[in-house]
Amino acid sequence: MTSSLNSSLLRRAAVVLVVFGGLAACQKNDATAGQVAGKLNDATQLAGQKLDQAASYVGQQVDATKAATEQNLESASATPSINVDPSALASTAQANLQNAASATNAQLGKAASLTGQGLETAGRKLQEWSAQSSASATSASSSSSSNDSSDAQKQMDK
């Protein structure tokens, strides 16, 4: 990559030199050959300096990128450290178990309360039914005994 960049910069510098040389030759003043050669020499030196600056900048960028890449590779290849603290794991597990036990206890309490209410209701209804059954049995037996006594009276009267 660096060599293609340098060759591209050299081609540009050569084009600049040819253009400056052509401009210097085409001037309509009484320039002497020495003046043209001096201007061409100055242009060449300036182009060389610019080329050196560009190559230096490119070299610095390449070095910085290479250093950053090496640092990233070293960081990536380092073994990650995993710290396991048994006491922290035990503490977390104990807290989770306590929370689960508390939630279970609350649900069991609700279930027991609902079961108790259901049993109370069933007991009351059973007592009501029992009271109604005994009342109707008592009235049926009393009416039956009164009928029996009136029948017996009628038989005696005959």
pTM of the model: 0.33
Exposure pattern of 7-23 as b/e (b: 16+ CB <10 Å)? eebeeebeebbeebbee
Residue 106 has pLDDT above 80, yes or no: yes
H or E element, residue 29:
none
13 pLDDT above the threshold of 60: yes
pLDDT at 35 over 70: no
Domain boundaries along the sequence of the chain: 2-73
Average pLDDT, the chain: 76
Q: Closest Cα to residue 57, out of 10, 5, 12?
A: 5
On the question of pLDDT at 68 being above 80, the answer is yes
- Is there a contact between 20 and 43 (Cβ–Cβ < 8 Å)? yes
Q: Where is average pLDDT lowest: 48-52, 111-115, 118-122, 145-149?
A: 145-149
Mean pLDDT value across residues 109-134: 88
80 DSSP 8-state letter: P
Is residue 88 pLDDT above 60, yes or no? Answer: yes
Q: Are 36 and 24 in contact (CB under 8 A)?
A: yes
- pLDDT of 15 over the 80 cut: no
Residue 36 has pLDDT above 70, yes or no: no
Assign 24 a pLDDT band (cuts: 50, 70, 90). low
Q: What is the pLDDT of residue 56?
A: 82
